[in-house]
Amino acid sequence: MTTPFDSPADAPDKPRLLVIDDEVQIRRAVRNALRDLTDQVVEVATGREGIDQAAASMPDLIVLDLGLPDMAGADVCREVRRWGTMPIVVLSARHGEEEKVNLLNLGADDYVTKPFSTLEFSARVRAQLRRFQSLSVPSHTATITVDGLSIDLVRRRVSRGAGAGAIHLTPIEWEILRTLATASGRTLTHQQIFDAVWGRAFGNPQQYLRVHITNLRRKIEIDPSRPQLIITEPGVGYRFESNI
pLDDT score at 136: 55
First to last CA, the chain: 41
CA distance 119 to 125: 10
CA 119, 124, 128, 130 torsion-angle sign: positive
Whether 12 maps to a domain, the answer reads no
CA distance 175 to 241: 17
> In this structure, what CATH number is given to the domain that contains residue 22?
3.40.50.2300
pLDDT for 107 beyond 70: yes
Whether residues 71 and 22 share a domain: the answer is yes
Whether 48 maps to a domain, the answer reads yes
Whether residues 236 and 168 share a domain: the answer is yes
Whether residues 145 and 165 share a domain: the answer is yes
Whether residues 83 and 119 share a domain: the answer is yes
Express as a percent the part of the chain with pLDDT over 70: 88
Whether 8 maps to a domain, the answer reads no
Contact call for residues 31 and 57 (beta carbons, < 8 A): no
pLDDT 10s digits, 211-229? 999 999 999 999 999 999 9
Whether 38 maps to a domain, the answer reads yes
CA distance 38 to 47: 23
Q: Which of 75, 103, 134 is the last residue of a domain?
A: 134
Whether residues 52 and 89 share a domain: the answer is yes
Whether residues 30 and 109 share a domain: the answer is yes
CA distance 78 to 56: 17
Whether residues 42 and 121 share a domain: the answer is yes
Whether residues 123 and 145 share a domain: the answer is no
Q: What share of the chain is helix, strand, coil (3-state, %, to 5)?
A: 40, 20, 45
Q: Which of 114, 134, 154 is the last residue of a domain?
A: 134
Q: Which of 134, 161, 176 is the last residue of a domain?
A: 134
Q: Which pairing describes strands 61-65 and 88-92: parallel, antiparallel, or unpaired?
A: parallel
The helix/strand/coil state of 18 is strand
Whether residues 88 and 165 share a domain: the answer is no
Q: Point out which residues pair with 237 in neighbouring strands.
A: 189, 233
pLDDT 10s digits, 61-106? 999 999 999 999 999 999 999 988 899 999 988 777 888 888 888 8
Whether 2 maps to a domain, the answer reads no
> What's the structural domain count of the chain?
2
Whether residues 129 and 143 share a domain: the answer is no
Whether residues 191 and 117 share a domain: the answer is no
> In this structure, what CATH number is given to the domain that contains residue 153?
1.10.10.10
Q: What is the largest CA-CA distance in the chain?
A: 58
pLDDT 10s digits, 125-174? 998 898 787 665 544 447 888 889 999 988 889 998 776 778 999 989 99
pLDDT for 207 beyond 90: no
Whether 229 maps to a domain, the answer reads yes
Whether residues 130 and 190 share a domain: the answer is no
CA distance 111 to 100: 7
Mean pLDDT on 17-39: 95
Going along 81-129, which residue ranges are E strands?
Answer: 88-92, 110-113
Q: pTM above 0.85?
A: no
Amino acid (1-letter code) at residue 204: N
Neighbours of 154 (CB within 10 A): 10
Domain containing 47 equals: 17-134
Contact call for residues 125 and 37 (beta carbons, < 8 A): yes
